[in-house]
Amino acid sequence: MRTRSADTRESILTATLRLLGSRDFSAIGTLEIAREAGVSEGTIFRYFPAKADIYTGLVREKVLKLVLELRAELDAIEGPLARLEHLGRRYVDFITVSRDVFQVILRELTYDSEATSNPLLDQMRSDVHMLEGLIEEGARQGVFEPGSDARALAMLFHGGLHSLLLEEKLFAKGKFPAKLVKKRAEAYRRALMSAIRPVDPRGGR
């Protein structure tokens, strides 16, 4: 059962996420976040001692939660191809229902760019390493065709669905209808899996 304290914290993070739909975190003040969340500015600082803590909390609770779930799911799946296919399907599901979170990911990639560590960038770096390892493992096992640049493919896999949001902005005035989002996300997933070049066990690609 959720407590009132947990609900208040969630409302602050959700309000911040809404505001991040149109502006960088650095351009949003704590008073504005408080008004959006329906709380006082003092309440903000009871839950988040510094403004930067709101961003860190948002990343950890809205983004890293998915990552932890995915890692647990992958532990139960055998083989690099099956793992990559599962990741692709989960990314499609995630972007279909959580475009607002994806927009934050894109918008905040440059937030606090002078810092040596950023929780979002750190996690993305870890994700790329994981994908790179899966692709290299698949090449060693003969599941993927050898000779490809695993880092480049991992970057394409990780960043490909981000391109969907850019596609929306360029060709759909900022937002696809919900049904089209899933259709386009699935098209990106298929293209990415094709780029990784799975080997057909019956011979050929």
Structure tokens at 8: 């208040």
- Top pLDDT among 18 and 175 is at 18
DSSP track, 114-127: TSS--HHHHHHHHH
Q: According to the model, what pLDDT value does residue 117 have? A: 61
* Domain of 118, in residue numbers: 58-196
Q: Are residues 64 and 162 in the same domain?
A: yes
Three-class DSSP category at 50: coil
What pLDDT shows up at residue 77? Answer: 95
| Average of per-residue pLDDT values in the chain | 83
Residue 201: predicted pLDDT = 67
Are residue 29 and residue 97 in the same domain, yes or no?
A: no
pTM: 0.73
| Cβ atoms within 10 Å, residue 39 | 17
Q: Of how many residues is the chain composed?
A: 205
Calpha distance 165→100 (Å, rounded): 10
Domain count for the chain, please give it.
2
User: Is residue 37 predicted with pLDDT exceeding 60?
Assistant: yes
Instruction: Say yes or no: 86 and 140 in one domain.
Output: yes
CATH number of the domain at 69, please.
1.10.357.10
How crowded is residue 162: how many other Cβ atoms within 10 Å of its Cβ? 17
- Residue 149's pLDDT band, with cuts at 50, 70 and 90, is very high
Residue 139 is predicted with a pLDDT of 94
Q: Are residues 37 and 129 in the same domain?
A: no
Examine residue 45 and state whether it is found in any structural domain, yes or no: yes
Tokens of 55: 């961003």
Q: How confident is the model at residue 106 (pLDDT cuts 50, 70, 90)?
A: low
Over residues 51-61, the pLDDT tens digits come to 989 988 887 77
Q: What is the pLDDT of residues 171-198, one digit of tens each?
A: 887 678 878 888 888 898 888 888 888 8
Q: Report the percentage of the chain scoring pLDDT > 90.
A: 34
Type of residue found at 4: R
Bridge partners, 198 (sequence order): 144
Assigned domain for 71 exists? yes
